[in-house]
Amino acid sequence: MITFVAIGILLWLLGLSLSSPEGFLQASAVMDSFIVKFIMWGILTALAYHIAGGIRHMMMDFGFLGETLQTGKLSAQIAFGITVVLSILAGVLVW
């Protein structure tokens, strides 16, 4: 449910910024706040985690990853590491 709200916020901001030059200035003004930047970073981090976990599960479903406990733990750690890297990159992008 929260993912849909996050995508709605991102699409609203995108639509506002692409509507006109004035809309872009409004979107830029919205993004000037620290709280909005923090929320945007949180949304991007959650979406990165969702994507990394989804790719992990797809690879498991297609049989590219084994179905043992060790492989599951390792793939979860790799997915979490990728999420950390993407979270840092999202922070650089937002700030």
Domain borders along the chain are 1-32, 33-95
The binding site for heme comprises 50
Give the pLDDT score at 73: 94
Distances (CA, A) of 46 to 6, 29, 39, 59, 64: 9, 24, 10, 20, 25
Distances (CA, A) of 58 to 1, 16, 54, 55, 64: 21, 34, 6, 5, 9
pLDDT tier, 85 (very low <50, low <70, confident <90, very high otherwise)? very high
pTM (predicted TM-score)? 0.84
As given in the structure block, the two tokens for residue 22 are: 């004035």
Give the pLDDT score at 65: 83
Whether residue 66 is predicted with pLDDT greater than 80 in this model: the reply is no
Architecture per CATH, domain 33-95, reads as Up-down Bundle (1.20)
Report the pLDDT averaged over residues 42-69. 92
The binding site comprises 50
